[in-house]
Structure formats: structure tokens, C-alpha cells
Amino acid sequence: MVSNFDAKLSEYARLLVEVGLNVQPGQTPSIEGNVEYVPLMRRCVSACFDCGARNVVPYFGDDFTTRETFLRADEAVFGEYPSYMKARVDWFLEQKSPRLSFSGSNPELLKDVDPARIQARRRASGPPTKPYFDAMQAGKFQWCVGAHPTVSWAEKVFPDKKGEEALDALWEAVFSVCRITGDGKAVERWREAVSAISRRSRVLNDYNFASLHYTNALGTDLTILLPENHVWAGGSEKSVAGVEFIANIPTEEIFTAPLRNGVDGRVHSSMPLAMDGNLIKDFYFDFKDGRIVDVHAKQGEELLRRAIELDEGARYLGEVALVPYDSPIRNTGILFYNTLFDENASCHLAFGQAYAACVRGGEDMDEEAQKAAGLNRSMTHVDFMVGTRDLSIVGTTHDGREIPVFVDGNFAF
């Protein structure tokens, strides 16, 4: 039993809707989640109306159906993207609907599914949904991703617990890292945490580093050049209409974009990567002029290769993110097997699409201008963890000064 569960669930819904999404009067948010998330999703629907929503549009998925489909549907299905699905995202884009979604699926949902089917589905859904997701990343509407524990996920995280017991333990962990205690003050606590993240972003922006050099005992020795007009962001962001929102709850990261062709050396993963319902373990990438020229993984190498072969941009980095080793999530000592949590436990990088907002004026640039500014473009964006207890990052300014950014896994300032 999770103590005070109902009060905590309501506090969580309020946090997601009021702070994460920050629903404004007259807006029509969409809420996406699996059928087992109904108690939380219903509270979110109410919280949206409490904020003055004009309407709320929920959408329910189901893990069993997803897996059964991947295993048994006709091969051709994975190369198609139905027109009604496209019409749906186009409508939300037209309305500039705030989007709340949840991460909580079984991390190994698609285990033993033919990787070619997964890749075909990604290729088919990429182009039709691109305008929607591009607009989302450019902040044309507010969005927030929260988490919802499930038994399959919980049993992965706590292998010595079963069923309800594992689920309760995961709820406790999620509430704790989301700063939810049941006292109704999570909203205030988040506002404080976000302002601490903003202070460090300002320090990084003031240095305006030309490059970052990563080293650790795993064998990472990587130099990342940053675009001249890069911007570090973190905590909350503002939509184009000026509404503040938090894209991920929880969030601890401060991030920017690397210079597309400016990454050289080797970087080792520090945690397993859960991707498409599979786990990829102990991998490294070698970079030359920004491009991944070699990849090796002890487990899941084939999937990782396919992921970076999705399109040309998938072979280049799109995100550099800094998270102290002593973060609230890392300090739980739990490996969540979920990017939303694990990426906030560790310094990470992502291959694929860069966020347009990571260079000054990026949201208003067309694709060519973004490329010229050094931003990577791709249909994909996959975060992987590189932070370790001994990670060192040294920044070099444009006038050649070397400034410690990370010492022994934590911020030097």
C-alpha cells in the first residue's frame, strides 16, 4: 500500500496539468495514455477543466494490443500510416492543443519483435507526423510528458518484488522524485527546483563555450563543439505564445545542441538504453566530424545500428545535456529503465534531431537555416546516458580559457 495514495495521485495530476502543461483558459488539451492509467488521466481531465479548458480530448492505448499487433499483424501494416491518424494530429496542431502524454509501458514490450517491423513503423509514421512533432519541439504549443507506473515496468525495476508490491514501490519512487508528498505543495516545490536549474543555465550561457571535452575511466574521450549562437535551456520553457511549461516531469537537465559536424572521439554509455521495448547495454560510439563512424554494444548492437541508420541525421548528435551525478533521481539508486527518469539521473547525449530552440532564433528558422546554424535534423531523437561518478567536463571559451564544468560527476559551479 502506498500511504495517502489518493491525495498523492491528485497532487500529481495537478502538478502535470498546472505546472507541466500550464493549461490556459479556452485551450483544448489532448491527454494520451494507456487504458490502465485511467484513474490518473481522469484526475488530469478534471484538473484541465479546473484551469478553464474549453474541452479535453483523451486518447487511450493498450500495451497488449501493441505487442499482439507487432507480432501478428500483416507485414504490410507496418509500412502504412492511416489517414485518420494523420488527420488527428493535424487537427491538434491547428488547435495548438497542449499535449499531455505518459511514459509507463513495459520497457521490454517489443522484445523478440522483428526489428524490421519496428523500423518500418517508424519510417511510415515519421513523415506524416513530422509537422506536428516539429511544431511541438519548436514550442508552438505547450506539452508535458509524465510517468505512470505499471506492473511490468515495476517488476523490471524491482526484480525481487512481484505484482502489486513492485507497483507500490515504483509509485513511491515516482512520487518521491517528483517531490510529491501528499501535502498539496508539489507545485510550489517544483517552482523552486526550476529556478535553481535556471541559475546554472545562465552561468553556462554567460561562458558561451566554444567546446566541451568529456573524459572518464570508462574510456570516454570526446570533444563536442557548440554552435556559435547556442542556448542552454532547462527547467521550464516558453511556448511561442509566451506560456511557460515544463516538457518533462521530473526534469533535472540543462541542455543545448552540439555543432552537427563538430563531434570527435569516443563516448561510452554509462547506463542501459531502453529503446523500442528492448535493452541495449554497454555500448560506445566513435565520432569523426560529427558522424558516428563506429558502434559497438555488448547487448542489442543490431537494434542500435538500425536506430542510427534510420536516416542520415540519426548518425549525428542532436543534444548535449548536463545532470549532476548527485541528482534526486540518481540518489534513489534506482535504475528506472525509462528515459524520462534515467536521462535525469545522468549527463546524456542524444543522436538525431536537435531542438530548434537551442540556437538563438532557431524556432523561426526554416530547415536549411537550422542546418546552417549547425543544428542536426532527423526523424529520430534517442537519449543515451554518459554520466559517471568520475566524469570530467572542461569547457573552452572562444578566447581559449579552460573552465571546469564538471568535476567528479558534478557541476563545478
Query: Residues with Cβ < 8 Å from 380, sequence gap 6 or more?
Result: 122, 126, 307, 310, 311, 313, 314, 351, 352, 353
Q: Which is nearer to Zn ion, 245 or 255 (CB)?
A: 255
Residue 1 Cβ vs Zn ion, minimum distance, rounded to whole Å:
34
Residue 7 Cβ vs Zn ion, minimum distance, rounded to whole Å:
31
CA-CA-CA-CA torsion for 260, 261, 262, 264, nearest 10 degrees?
120
Instruction: Tell me if 385 sits within 8 A of 270, measured CB to CB.
Output: yes
Buried b (16+ CB within 10 A) or exposed e, 76-106: eebeeeeeeebebbeebbebbbbbbebbbbb
Q: Which is nearer to Zn ion, 255 or 287 (CB)?
A: 255
Q: Which is nearer to Zn ion, 41 or 274 (CB)?
A: 274
HEC readout, 352-364: ECCCHHHECCHHH
Residue 235 Cβ vs Zn ion, minimum distance, rounded to whole Å:
12
Q: Which is nearer to Zn ion, 167 or 259 (CB)?
A: 259
Residue 382 Cβ vs Zn ion, minimum distance, rounded to whole Å:
8
Buried b (16+ CB within 10 A) or exposed e, 337-375: bbbbbbbbbbbbbbbbbbbbbbbeebbebeeeebeebbb
Q: Which is nearer to Zn ion, 44 or 382 (CB)?
A: 382
Residue 412 identity:
A
Residue 130: CB atoms within 10 Å: 13
Residue 251 Cβ vs Zn ion, minimum distance, rounded to whole Å:
9
Q: Which is nearer to Zn ion, 155 or 252 (CB)?
A: 252
Q: Which is nearer to Zn ion, 118 or 349 (CB)?
A: 349
333: cell is 539508486
Q: Which is nearer to Zn ion, 57 or 233 (CB)?
A: 233
Residue 97 Cβ vs Zn ion, minimum distance, rounded to whole Å:
22
Residue 255 Cβ vs Zn ion, minimum distance, rounded to whole Å:
5
Residue 392: CB atoms within 10 Å: 18
Buried b (16+ CB within 10 A) or exposed e, 1-17: ebeeeeebbbbbbbbbb
Residue 339 Cβ vs Zn ion, minimum distance, rounded to whole Å:
8
379/128 Cα distance (integer angstroms): 11
Per CB under 5 A, residues contacting Zn ion are 253, 255, 319, 321, 343, 350, 383
- Residue listed under C-alpha cell 514501490: 169
